[in-house]
Structure 1
Amino acid sequence: MDVRQLEYFLAVVDHGGFNRAASVLYLSQPSLSQAVRALERDLGSELFHRIGRRAVLTEAGRALIEPAREAVRSLQLARASVESVHGLRSGRVDIAAMPSQAIEPLTGFIRSFARSHPSVSVRVQAAFTPRDVTEMVRTGASELGLLASPVGLANGDVRTYPLSDQRFVLLAPPDGPFPPGVPVRHDQLSGHRLIAGQQGTGMRRFVDDLLSEGVALTVGVETEHRVAILPLVLGGAGLAVVTDSWRGWAERSGALVLDLEPGTSLHVALVSRRAPLTPAAAAFLDDALAADKKRL
């Protein structure tokens, strides 16, 4: 068994099959299949059930995922640590981020990091809920994570670094129903259609809390595609409750961004795996924490 075989195995897992994984790895599908077969022979267990063109993980395959990620990450750490002896001149930071926080503060973090480390790349992976983020970091799919939650995060499997809170605001079209610059009370949302995220997100929890308070609103649209929210609002499909990170983008697009009363916020945090970080990830974390302090 070697690390390259483990990388190939994880590629099949992450990309949902041999064909897609082979394309990403720039390998022929037979070559990839042969490498995974060799790994299975070394381990004495089948890792996938081959069902037509589908590859379904066996119990042994599921058991291998976490140690495989740890082995690959450990090799990456070793290589990166040696390369960084003469300065951080290369490398890549993998960060899992929830959609709203990928707008801000992540955009600002990456902008600051790119100025001080222009040769290091950043890969942002999508995660929709705090649990998704922590699981990706815990299992080694990503070294860092950026999340927001209505309650403080308590997860011993990852290290947590609290950041500035993000307040909820209301997105509305410029032609009403609320005047610009005037905060909107929760009860004023009665009778209106709202565009909401999927279950498990802070946006959706806020809307569900309003419903439980007796606010007679209607969830007119539920979407996992955050990029669709602003066009839907501007197109008159409904109002949307989002975090204040949307303000700049929404206002430049012509939407009204209105404060909500009483104010409610999400707790934003960076998380990292408990194992040692690569020099690039450690530098990104330090830069991000310093940038967040400057915003306070």
Structure 2
Amino acid sequence: MDVRQLTYFLAIVDTGGFHRAAGTLYVSQPSLSQAVRALERDLGSELFHRIGRRAVLTEAGRALIEPARAAVRSLQTARASVAAVHELRSGRLDVASMPSQAIEPLTTLIRAFSRRHPGVVVGVKAVSTSRDVIEAVRTGAVELGLAASHGPLPQKEVSSLELGRQRFVLLAPPGGPFSGRTGVECGELAGERLIVGQPGTGMRAYVDSLRERGVAFTVAAETEHRAALLPLVLAGVGLAVVTESWRDLARRAGAEVLDIEPATALRIGLVSRRGSLSPAAAAFLDTVRTKTAAP
């Protein structure tokens, strides 16, 4: 067993098949298949059921995921530790983030980090919910992640550093039902058509809570693609409740942004895996702490 085989195995897990994994790794599919078969022989168990072009994990394959991630991460940490001697002139850091927090505060944080360490590539892994962020950090898929929560940030499975709060705002098309206003009472959304995100997100939970409070709105569209919210609003499909990280972007695109009263906000935090971090992750966390402590 070697780290190359484990890397190939994890690529198949993350992409869902041998063909996609080969493309992601820039290797031929026969070479990939041969490496995985050698790993299976070494372990004495099949890791995947091959169903057409799909690769479905066996029980043994599922058991290997976390140890494989830990082994690959350990090697990456060792390599990055050597690079740290050269002041992080190269390397890579992966950060998991939900779409809204990828706009802000992640953009500002990456800018501050890149100014200090321009040779380190920051990869942003897109996830849909805060639970996905925590799971990605906990299992070692990434070392850091940006999570949003209605309540206290998690501290049991991961470490959390609170960065601030983001209130909910309403995106509306120019000339829409609340044109020219800067704020709207949540009860005024009754009878409106709303574009909502997928269940499990903070924004969807807030919209669902409005309905529970008796605000009878109509769902015009439900999208898992958060990037589609703003175009749908501008096209007049409906209104959207988002966090204020969208404010500047939405205004530049031509949408109207209204504060929703009473103010309700999500807590935003940077979560990190427990235990030792790679030099790049530790440097990113130090950058965030410095920026958070600044007046």
Task: State how far apart, in whole Å, the 2-side matches of 1:23 and 1:227 are.
Answer: 25
**Structure 2 CA distance, aligned partners of 1:73 and 1:153?**
25
C-alpha distance in 1, partners of 2:220/2:133?
27
3-state SS of 1:90 partner: coil
2:246 matches 1:246: yes
Q: Which consecutive segments of 4 or more residues in structure 1 shift more than 6 A? A: none
User: What one-letter code is carried by the residue in structure 2 that aligns with 1:45?
Assistant: S
1:7 match:
7
- Amino acid corresponding to residue 88 of structure 1 in structure 2: L
Name the residue aligned to 1:121.
121
**If the length of structure 2 is used for normalisation, what is the TM-score?**
0.97
Letter in 2 for 1:229: L
Matched, 1:79 2:102: no
The 2-side partners of 1:51 and 1:146 are apart by: 36
* Structure 1 runs not aligned, ≥5 long: none
- CA shift at 1:181, angstroms? 4.0
Describe the superposition over 1:27-64 as per-residue Cα deviations: whole angstroms up to 9, x where unpaired: 11111111111111111111011122221100000000
Structure 2 CA distance, aligned partners of 1:177 and 1:183? Answer: 12
Q: Residues 62-73 of structure 1: matches in 2 within 5 Å?
A: 62-73=62-73
The equivalent of 1:171 in structure 2 is 171
Is this contact kept in 2: 1:180–1:258, CA < 8 A?
no
Worse-superposed segment, 166-175 or 150-159? 150-159
Residue identity in the other structure for 1:162: E
- Tell me what 2:209 maps to: 209
Q: What amino acid maps onto 2:247 in structure 1?
A: R
> Which amino acid is the alignment partner of residue 110 of structure 1?
I
Whole-angstrom CA distance in 1 between matches of 2:108 and 2:45: 46
Q: Which amino acid aligns with 2:110?
A: I
Could you tell me how far apart the structure 2 residues matched to 1:110 and 1:68 are?
A: 28
Gap runs ≥5 in structure 2: none
Number of the residue aligned with 2:265: 265
- Please show how residues 1-296 of structure 1 align to structure 2 within 5 Å: 1-294=1-294
Counterpart Cα distance in 1 of 2:208 and 2:278: 40
| Residue 114 of structure 1, CA deviation | 1.2
> What secondary structure sits across from 2:164 in the alignment?
coil
Per the TM alignment, residue 210 of structure 1 is displaced from its structure 2 partner at its CA by 0.3
1:217-275 deviation per Cα after TM superposition (whole angstroms, max 9, x unaligned): 11111111111111111111111110010011001111111111100000111111113
Considering only aligned residues, what root-mean-square deviation do their CA atoms show, in Å?
1.2
3-state SS, counterpart of residue 147 of structure 1: strand
The alpha-carbon distance between structure 1 residues 254 and 293, as it changes in their structure 2 partners (threshold 3 A), is: farther
**One-letter code of the match for 2:212?**
S
TM-score scaled by length of structure 1: 0.97
Q: How many residues align?
A: 295
Distance 1:251 1:291 in 2: 26
1:192 offset after TM fit, Å? 0.3
State the secondary structure of the residue aligned to 1:164. strand
Kept in 1, the 8 Å contact 2:137–2:145? The answer is yes
CA contact (8 A) 2:49 2:55 kept: yes
Moved more, 153-162 or 85-94: 153-162
